[in-house]
Chains A and B, each alone.
Chain A
Amino acid sequence: MLSRRMNDRERAITRHHEPTRPFRLPDRQDPAVRESKVTVKIPRPLFRRVQQVVDGSGFNSPTDFIVYVLRDLMGKAEGNHGEFTQEELDDVKRKLKNLGYL
């Protein structure tokens, strides 16, 4: 069977995450859709907690805060903190050698 009826819990979650506006397919000719931004859904309770954190923090909106945190996390995941490439390590060795220190 390709589909089944939702149980009560699934129905509740679906209601909770229902968009406030009627859903429509994105129109690729619409300038707003061509923007380099996408919509990501997060649980509403988490959103409320983010709102509390953002209030008075200097961030203009929960979206700004979430983008900031995600960028920070992605930067860390990409190894931008304290990790050096082999090229950088070789460059240091070359410099020390040129100075006669190695």
Chain B
Amino acid sequence: MTVTTLSRVSPVHGGLKALVHRITGGSADAAAWAKLPAVDVNDNDRTSLYRIGDGTLSPLTGPMGKSDYRSVLDKSAIFREGKAWAWTIPIILPVTDAEAAKCKVGSEVALAFEGKVFGKLLVDSVYEWDQKEFVRVVYGTDRLDHPGARLWTGDPRKKLVGGEVTLVPFVDARPFAGRILSPLGTRALLDKKGYEQSVAFQTRNPLHRAHEYALIYGAEKILRETGKKTGVVLNPLVGQLKGDDVPADVRMQTYEALVDGRFLGQGDMDEALWKKHRQNLNDQLHLIGLDIRMYYGGPKEAAMHAIYRQNLGFTHFIIGRKHADAPFDDKSPIWGDFDAQEIFQHLGGGLSIRTVNVGFAAYFEQIGRVGLVEENPGKTQVSISGTKIRELLGKGELPDARVMRPSTAKVLAAYYQRADEQKQAKG
């Protein structure tokens, strides 16, 4: 029954009845497109284009033209069929002046990465890119000394091109490629498993137990409220990150160790709740990578993360403290701790996915497990600084298991030891 299906997965964003699907080209097409004037894109651009192609960024069918770009910056929305839909960061394709000259409105250009054509763009807009305005609006600050701003201000390309893409399939050779699912895949998973609701947790870091608890808390909150069969999805970003983030392949190993070992929630979950509803957290837990770039955009990126997850089909999305946060270089914060939760109260347009807010969490000695700080006033937190954890892992030692599970720590220790050795070898 259609109604049941709709109640299990979120609708596609932007009022579409079906996902955008623009990965429809074949190798013969790519050869033909190679005769068109070409635009060379970088790794970040290509990833975004493929997320347009597979529908993660529905309803977009290509990089934003000027009207979408302006409406996102001015109204935090895009407009389709006269209706406003939430959108907080423009999805853009920057080009050089020479490339812009080749992009005639109404014409087609080839999209190439490292000289190899992987798609074409039907151009509908070529316009100036005011990078400083982009940074000011997206990040909410004029300051440029933060990782988010540097993504853009270092880009020598000063024009943007919009239109509709057609791409050839992406061949992913990364070791964790099998863990990455398109919206078609995630929606099929939710459907096959018969989940009546699903909750996704975004991360770009290896998980401490306090991080893990955000996913447990979110899943238990919606399970407690509805009693419905709940899909629980650990949905890390595996796209482009800044240099000091732990690489995706290492992070995926930590997540796989957690999921395959069925450690999530061990000691921290509400076992009675799961039992009461005849459900099992670890049976209903799925690790799915999302290949998309980080913007380090705090609240505005939190809204984008929710849009991606809606298109993936999830009904709920967890927003923790400091979501998608990266402070100024002097370590002072750009945003408040909970700005990423509050932005959902004043979005510029419609959004169907529901957010589950989670506060600070920590392991508390008195209760012998991880809990929320707000629910455990006056109790003693077990905590270790990030610097200390890094130091221990570098020496091959595992931090307190109350802070980080050994399954995660072992993978990280091996990684940091390798990294330190390589550093020393380089002198």
A20 at the interface (CB under 8 A from B): no
Say yes or no: B192 contacts A101, CB within 8 Å: yes
B151 at the interface (CB under 8 A from A): no
- Shortest A32–chain B CB gap in Å is 19
Say yes or no: A82 contacts B164, CB within 8 Å: no
Cα distance, A67 to B22, chains bound together (Å): 19
- Shortest B260–chain A CB gap in Å is 10
Say yes or no: B20 contacts A81, CB within 8 Å: yes
Say yes or no: A88 contacts B20, CB within 8 Å: no
A71 at the interface (CB under 8 A from B): yes
Q: Which residue of A lies closest to B106 (CB)?
A: A64
* A-contacting residues, B59-84, CB 8 Å: 61, 66
- The count of A-to-B residue pairs whose CB atoms sit within 8 angstroms is 74
Instruction: Check A64/B107 contact, CB under 8 A, given A92-B184, A102-B192.
Output: yes
Q: Which residue of A lies closest to B163 (CB)?
A: A68
A59 at the interface (CB under 8 A from B): yes
* B-contacting residues, A57-102, CB 8 Å: 58-60, 63-65, 67-68, 71-72, 75, 78, 80-84, 88-89, 92-93, 95-96, 98-99, 101-102
Cα distance, A89 to B184, chains bound together (Å): 8
Return chain B residues, CB-CB under 8 Å to A92.
181-182, 184-185, 188
Q: Which residue of B lies closest to A68 (CB)?
A: B106
Which residue from A63, A72, A93, A102 sits with its C-beta under 8 Å from B122?
Answer: A72
* Contact size range, B: 20 to 34
Q: Which of B11-19, B38-46, B87-95 contacts A (4 or more CB under 8 A)?
A: B11-19
Q: Which residue of B lies closest to A94 (CB)?
A: B178
Return chain B residues, CB-CB under 8 Å to A78.
24
Return chain A residues, CB-CB under 8 Å to B22.
80
Cα distance, A95 to B172, chains bound together (Å): 13
Say yes or no: B122 contacts A96, CB within 8 Å: no
Return chain B residues, CB-CB under 8 Å to A64.
104-107
Instruction: Check A96/B188 contact, CB under 8 A, given A64-B104, A68-B124.
Output: yes
- Shortest A87–chain B CB gap in Å is 10
Which residue from A59, A63, A82, A98 sits with its C-beta under 8 Å from B21?
Answer: A82
B418 at the interface (CB under 8 A from A): no
Return chain B residues, CB-CB under 8 Å to A71.
108, 122
Return chain B residues, CB-CB under 8 Å to A60.
104-106
Say yes or no: A95 contacts B178, CB within 8 Å: yes
Residue from A72, A80, A93 whose CB has the most chain B CB atoms within 10 Å: A80
Return chain A residues, CB-CB under 8 Å to B122.
68, 71-72, 75
B279 at the interface (CB under 8 A from A): no
Instruction: Check A82/B17 contact, CB under 8 A, given A72-B122, A101-B189.
Output: yes
Return chain A residues, CB-CB under 8 Å to B321.
none
Cα distance, A95 to B86, chains bound together (Å): 31
B136 at the interface (CB under 8 A from A): no
B143 at the interface (CB under 8 A from A): no
Cα distance, A5 to B294, chains bound together (Å): 72
| B interface list, Cβ under 8 A from A | 16-22, 24, 55, 61, 66, 104-108, 122, 124-126, 164, 166, 178-179, 181-182, 184-185, 188-189, 192-193, 286
User: Can you list 6 A-B pairs, Cβ within 8 angstroms, ordered by A?
Assistant: A58-B105, A68-B124, A78-B24, A88-B184, A92-B188, A102-B192
| Nearest 5 pairs of A and B residues by beta carbon | A82-B18, A64-B106, A68-B106, A92-B185, A59-B105
